[in-house]
Amino acid sequence: MTLYAAYGSNLDPRQMLLRAPHSPHRGTGWLRDWRLTFGGEEIGWEGSVATLAEDLGHSVFVSIYDLTRADEIALDEWEGVTTDLYRKIRVRVETLDGSPLCYVYVLNSFEGGLPSARYLEIMVNAAREAGAPDDYILHLLARETRE
């Protein structure tokens, strides 16, 4: 199995159950020295979409899943790896049990732009469902949106 660290809207366990139904949730952790950001506004959605950028001193809350090969292929397609929208990279995630190597998806576009209010609301609700700490939720709620 492959370890996957979900962030953004993929923190929602119900959404992950639909996208990767055979892949159990392993726990949560922190992606240290990375920050949650947005990009891809030029692609034409209602606003920019979530991605990650390396940034010392920042952290991103993640949920870790043990992906089966079939679910990994399906998630790659869903995330746009097959169309070069996102790429997969391996990162270390800090957990209470160690620092496993996990895949994350990173947008193949320039950083910048603002997410829609609707998209940010989805991300906030997903973070709550995943058990993100209150200060992380407040940080998300403070983000500027297009609307």
The reported pTM is: 0.94
**Sole residue written with tokens 């870790």:** 64
CB 51 within 8 A of CB 110: no
What is the average pLDDT across 42-54?
88
Ordered structural domains, the chain, with CATH: 2-141 (3.10.490.10)
User: Looking at this protein, which amino acid is placed at residue 126?
Assistant: A
Examine the pLDDT at 94 and tell me if it is beyond 70. Answer: yes
Instruction: Give the range among 25-29, 45-49, 103-107 with minimum mean pLDDT.
Output: 45-49
